[in-house]
Amino acid sequence: MANTIEWIGDAGGFLRLLDQTKLPTETTYLDCRTVEDVWQAIKRLSVRGAPAIGVSAAYGVCLDAGSKESALAACDYLATSRPTAVNLFWALDRIRHAIEKHEASRLVASLLEEAKAIHAEDHDLCAAIGRHGADALADLPTGAGVLTHCNTGALATGGDGTALAVILELHRRGHEPKVYADETRPLLQGARLTMWELMERGVDATLITDSMNAQVMREGRVGAVIVGADRIAANGDAANKIGTYAAAIAARYHKVPFYVAAPSTTFDLTLTSGDQIPIEQRADEEITCGFGKQTAPVGAKTYNPAFDVTPAELITGIVTERGVFKPGEVAAALSSAQAK
């Protein structure tokens, strides 16, 4: 697998990102040398996935840390790139704390150390999520179908992923899951990215359109659904790529367990429910002229939310680096861990 995020050089270096808008046909890298470069890369989805966005933004601040004032301004600017993924704000808050704590004379080196720590910690979180999720799904028969939506692998994180880490761990353990990957319209992250990752790793994967997942469940092909999340409220409501809510409804109707996999950094305990999660609205052209080909009449009105919110009552369990919890249990578990 290619490196999704890589810092090149020392404190005077730059951030190299795998341009995910070019996959799967091209492996192209973006060398980000300014905060603006990183902002644009996040905004246009060259880098995407909540944990990867947070890691990239942390490195991005290091590109303009000549003074505490400029570093704090970089934090504020990068926070405007995308509104839903809470990992972005978590990582920037951590960088702000490091800015206040360290001397200006070695600010860039200190912030780079902090960004690298955030990156390394996410790698470890992914591994733990994979283990706990694979334990939760250990009773699935060998070769059972697992459905996933959007992309939640190495491309979206600093490690093996969240939901995809669980699938990869099942594969490593010899369970041989048969993955059904939703295409994930309108930008096809499932088709372009998830299928690419799974095929690279030798996992049995079948691509379907989003509108097919209910039928695949009806046919008994799916033993479990596992997805990621960009923000989870205190009650367990989870925001994820648009189409996740529909998959959860179909799973409940067909009595298929539905899991969300996410690190503790994806939880926003300041929000009591998913109704308070800000939902990013994307450009009309993603629907009317996707990938450069016009598919709707000129002037067609669109509604293009990037995310939807799955209510906690539709979620069987939330897989975190600390274990698997019922949605209503997570806030207390995380609060207890933070208190320690």
Q: How many CB atoms lie within 10 A of CB 131?
A: 17
**What token pair was written down for 36?**
């603006």
CATH topology of domain 5-123: Four Helix Bundle (Hemerythrin (Met), subunit A) (1.20.120)
C-alpha to C-alpha distance for 177 and 142, rounded to whole angstroms: 7
- Containing 66, the helix (H) or strand (E) segment is none
Residue numbering of the annotated binding site for substrate: 48-50, 82, 189, 240-241
Distances in Å between the alpha carbon of 46 and those of 21, 72, 239, 326?
5, 24, 21, 33
Which pLDDT does position 7 carry in this prediction? 97
Q: Where are the domains of the chain?
A: 5-123, 125-339
Which pLDDT does position 340 carry in this prediction? 57
Which pLDDT does position 337 carry in this prediction? 65
Which of helix, strand or coil describes residue 166? Answer: helix
Which pLDDT does position 167 carry in this prediction? 98
**What token pair was written down for 232?**
């989870």
Which pLDDT does position 338 carry in this prediction? 66
Residue 135 known to be catalytic: no
What would the DSSP string read from start to end of 258-270?
EEEE--GGGEETT
Residue numbering of the annotated binding site: 48-50, 82, 189, 240-241
- Catalytic pick from 64, 182, 210, 230? 230
Dihedral angle over CA of 63, 57, 153, 243, nearest 10? -140
Distances in Å between the alpha carbon of 143 and those of 85, 183, 287?
33, 21, 35
Q: Give 101's Cβ-side CA count (13 Å radius).
A: 10
What is the DSSP-derived secondary structure letter of residue 222? Answer: -
C-alpha to C-alpha distance for 110 and 116, rounded to whole angstroms: 10
Which pLDDT does position 1 carry in this prediction? 65
For the chain, how big is the Rg over CA atoms in Å? 19
| Burial (0-12, 13-18, 19+ Cβ within 10 Å), 35 | buried
* CATH superfamily, domain at 125-339: Translation initiation factor eif-2b; domain 2 (3.40.50.10470)
Distances in Å between the alpha carbon of 199 and those of 101, 149, 168, 312?
44, 16, 11, 32
**Which three-class secondary structure string do you get for 97-153?**
HHHHHCCHHHHHHHHHHHHHHHHHHHHHHHHHHHHHHHHHCCCCCCCCEEEECCCCC
Which pLDDT does position 145 carry in this prediction? 98
Distances in Å between the alpha carbon of 69 and those of 65, 79, 90, 334?
8, 16, 19, 33
**What token pair was written down for 316?**
């069987």
Distances in Å between the alpha carbon of 168 and those of 173, 185, 224, 276, 320?
9, 24, 15, 33, 16
Compute mean pLDDT per 10 residues along the chain, 340 residues long, and list them: 90 96 96 98 97 98 95 97 96 96 86 97 97 97 97 96 98 97 98 97 98 98 98 97 98 98 95 97 95 95 98 98 94 73
